[in-house]
Amino acid sequence: MAGWSCLVTGAGGFLGQRIIRLLVEERELQEIRALDKAFRPELQEEFSKLQSQSKLTLLEGDILDEQFMKRACQGTSAVIHAASVIDVFNAIPRETIMDVNVKGTQILLEACAQASVPIFIYTSTIEVAGPNSYREVIRDASEDQPLESTWSAPYPHSKKLAEEAVLAANGWALRNGGILSTCALRPMYIYGEGSPFLRGFVDQALRNHGTLPHNSKLSVVNPVYVGNAAWAHVLALRALRDPERAASVGGQFYYIADDTPPQSYDQLNYALGREWGFHLDARRGLPVLLQYWLGFLLEMVSLLLRPVCRYRPPFNRHTVTLLNSVFTFSYKKAQRDLGYKPLFSWEQAQQNTAAWIGALVKRHREAGRAKAR
């Protein structure tokens, strides 16, 4: 990558951090620009230690600021767009999600065209494909199957629109006469050390005497470890840099999984936390059909109360479907086109994540002992 530089948006996030850590190991990459709205002090310190042959520049700013994004892209050779507002529980206003995820992506694409950035890689999501019904069984699906989310929920809808914009931009003429090459990666549910979702489950279990939430025992999914999801972005960057491969990769989307065994979300949480004494709730939950229609009633209550106050239901039809579907995918196309092969085995991913959970458990116990003194 002689003379090359790469801008990574969402660089302070769960996935973005791992992309940065892998990019600093890329030879001949002169500069990495890590962009986020704000970086935590401890992350700034960590990134400062990553300086190697690549210059690592931290940029703090709003993705909706057009002038800021133009400056960030100026002189950049590639963009990995991992910034996103992730929300499956409708906790964030719809306007905010649509603005950041859709408008922010469009602003960044325009900035790339103006700054003649030839490569754009978009971090999409499996939710662009569904699941649309917990009754439908999707196993080992591929990119050739016409799967598309029909949910109007802001997160999957915004990601679908943003991905469409990115893939449609493939082939755009750049200001310097070049051509923009784009692709989108659709990771499965991403787990690993630092996962905000996993941390939430661990916190719940610690407050509940080690009992993990048990609300998705019927699901069958193939989660992807964060290190492998990040590695796929690096390989996509390499592929789009190669003129021969760029012709076939440009305008394509790829499902990104690894060799984590297909299992339920509950089983995954248990597999990662059992050595620390965590266990699943043995009580029987409500039937999925009843949960689904309760979710619908809660959505109606939220809608009726909207003129008076903002009520956020604990679950809705979308979350019930997500947590109870059989929805697994193959990564063979990424293997064929990008040369993708998981960097971390399931055993490594499990060990790394369990060690992180252990640190959370120890910190919790220490805080409890200090409080008791």
Catalytic residues: 155
**Beta carbons of 85 and 100 less than 8 angstroms apart:** yes
Distance CA 58, CA 276 (A): 36
Write a three-state SS string for the chain: CCCEEEEEECCCCHHHHHHHHHHCCCCCEEEEEEEECCCCHHHHHHHHCCCCCCEEEEEECCCCCHHHHHHHHCCCCEEEECCCCCCCCCCCCHHHHHHHHHHHHHHHHHHHHHHCCCEEEEECCHHHCCCCCCCCEEEEECCCCCCCCCCCCHHHHHHHHHHHHHHHCCCCECCCCCECEEEEEEECCEECCCCHHHHHHHHHHHHCCCEECCCCCCCEECCEEHHHHHHHHHHHHHHHHCHHHHHHHCCEEEEECCCCCCECHHHHHHHHHHHHCCEECCCCCCCHHHHHHHHHHHHHHHHHHCCCCCCCCCCCHHHHHHCCCEEEECCHHHHHHHCCCCCCCHHHHHHHHHHHHHHHHHHHHHHHHHHHC
d(CA 107, CA 85): 16
Distance CA 170, CA 362 (A): 48
The answer to whether the CB of 247 falls within 8 A of the CB of 353 is: no
Q: Which residue has the tokens 């030879």?
A: 27
Judge residue 303's burial from the number of C-beta atoms within 10 Å of its C-beta, 0-12 exposed, 13-18 middle, 19 or more buried. Answer: exposed
Q: Kindly state the tokens that stand for 168.
A: 């449609």
